[in-house]
Copies of this chain bind each other. A is one copy, B any other.
């Protein structure tokens, strides 16, 4: 069996690796949901979307079918697709309860099984978090949210359990949280008090106290895993999720009162 070196040495012929259009469209629509180009609850017109993306209906239909399976879009037979509504307070709490069931375990396992590759990846991800902190405005929030998604997915992956990793990915929790936040953000225009609330929410989420609260919590988790301290990793993850729940609860609640 050829070594990895020799394999890397010979010219790689498998270049094409062209992604299938259907997959690209899937990612594009997901992105449109993510950044509110498709608002929560908004109707999704297949034909219009196909025209807008300059493709035929076929790949759009496949993408929507997958998105429905993901729970990001709901289908009403013969009436069409709609982006799912924002999380209700109950759904929000349920989601975090679910995460509490699997993620502390995942962190514990990750600490037990992590190898050098995993440690390197964790360090790199924490670097990207610090980079994100230098951005400003909504873009920063998006960058931090994406770091958050990658960080948790990485740990689930290091845990070695594919079922757990998949189930985490499928929650799309970062997407839901980002939509909750942006929904509040977009209501800024409604009044000063709201604007202040949103700003406070943001500060509280990412820069409370001496700053970068969530990132600091990530740092604790990452360090515990790298040190292969499984108990510490579990408790740190548990604390982080509960802390994150408390930070986001006001956003979820205010939406419900609308």
A77 to B20, CA, bound (A): 6
Q: List 22 A-B contacts (CB under 8 A).
A: A17-B77, A18-B77, A18-B78, A58-B61, A63-B65, A65-B69, A66-B68, A69-B70, A91-B163, A94-B160, A94-B161, A94-B162, A94-B163, A97-B161, A97-B163, A98-B161, A98-B163, A98-B164, A101-B105, A101-B164, A102-B102, A167-B167
CB of A95 within 8 A of chain B?
Answer: yes
Query: CB within 8 A of A19: which of B58, B68, B77?
Result: B77
Q: In the assembly, what is the distance between CA of A71 and CA of B167, in Å? A: 11
Check: A200 CB closer than 8 A to any chain B CB: no
A100 to B: closest C-beta gap in Å: 9
Given the known interface contacts A62-B65, A65-B66, the answer about A98 and B19 at a Cβ–Cβ threshold of 8 Å is no
A67-95 CB mask vs B (1 if < 8 Å, else 0) is: 01111000101100000000000010011
Q: Which of B20, B23, B170 contacts A170 (CB 8 A)?
A: B170
A101 to B171, alpha carbons, bound, how many Å?
Answer: 16
- Interface size counted on chain A using CB atoms at 8 A: 36
Chain B residue numbers with a CB within 8 Å of A19 are 77
Q: Does A35 contact B (CB under 8 A)?
A: no
With a cutoff of 8 Å between Cβ atoms, the chain B residues found around residue A167 in the complex are 98, 167, 170-171
Q: How far is the CA of A91 from the CA of B223 in the complex (A)?
A: 28
Give the top 10 A-B pairs by smallest Cβ distance, nearest first.
A69-B69, A98-B163, A62-B65, A65-B65, A20-B77, A94-B161, A66-B69, A94-B163, A167-B167, A65-B66
| Residues on B with beta carbons closer than 8 Å to the beta carbon of A70 | 69
